[in-house]
Amino acid sequence: MKADLKGVRARVLAVVAAGAAAVAAQAQGQNFPDHPIKLVVAYPPGGPNDTVTRVTTQGLGEELGQSLVVENVPGAGGRIGTRSVARAAPDGYTLLAGGTNDNAIAAALYRNLDFDPVKDFAPVAALSTDSTAVVVNPAVPAKSLAELAAYGKAHPGTLNAGSTLGIAPHLLLEFVRVRTGAAMAFVPYKGAAPAIADVLANQIQVAASGKAVLLPLIRAGKLRALAVTSVERWPELPDVPTLRESGLDGFPTAVWAGLVAPAGTPAAVIAKINAAENQRLRSPQTQAAVAKLGFHTQEMSPQEFGAVLAEQLRLWTAVANETKIKLE
């Protein structure tokens, strides 16, 4: 009888504790935020991730009633900044500008991370989708991926391709090399901005990056686009084929950007940030800035964004397996 009473008491205490935790979490959501929020961008200023993040989260602090500080923490292909958020307190005051690169590709490529790009994060809100292009310095005579491969074979040792290590442009360049047989040596960079600076200066000859960064340079004739990853051709570049049209099928068509928080962040806090960010995505100011840069915003619930990240992991794992890229 005493054992039964002890069991009942334990179950009652568990129910009471769970109820108290739920009340505390709800109260935390109601009071959030009461001091500034830090949003970590794991790449240098000026690259696609940084550009997209700053455009789509502008005004988020005002929506939440607190200041939002964007902090660039570059290095190790985004892993330094990502790790710092994984280890932060799960209270909503430290967020990561994550998505495809940090929460899907990293999980597909790296074997010995001291954090889990999937399990250590909670999806908060989708920001945008962008597609990627392969570009060359105009000194390279190639006008297509087939011509690039032929040029590399005819001039061995002359083509160097560069991007941030371990993100979508890196996999795109390796995918092109594997599928076409192009003789390109890969040069790793800490971020997209220095890689683009070097391809503009012809220090490297081939690069890949997002539309928001590349489109103005392509339009100005400073870079030549050979192919884009989107399902359809970029409306701004109707003469540039897609990868599929170039004979390279099977590469993911989009790169997703979004907000993620440390795992364990209260659902009420996540819901509050999600609602505020979706409100910003609807604003005329955000829509105008997005239209100018050429990428697409996407409103989602945390659950919907989590499903997107799971599908991204599946797609990019297939690319990592085909290109045989595994990083320590």
Domains identified in the chain and CATH numbers: 32-129+255-323 (3.40.190.150), 132-228 (3.40.190.10)
Instruction: Name the residue among 121, 119, 100 with its Cα closest to residue 109.
Output: 100
- Which pLDDT value is given to residue 24? 46
Average pLDDT over residues 278-292: 93
Q: State residue 111's pLDDT score.
A: 85
Average pLDDT over residues 174-199: 94
More confident residue, 264 or 44: 264
Residue 277 has pLDDT above 80, yes or no: yes
Lowest-pLDDT range, 19-28, 75-84, 131-140, 200-209? Answer: 19-28
Give the pLDDT score at 306.
Answer: 97
* 294 pLDDT more than 60: yes
Pick 83 or 5 by higher pLDDT. Answer: 83
Q: What is the pLDDT of residues 56-97, one digit of tens each?
A: 999 999 999 999 999 999 988 899 999 999 999 999 999 999
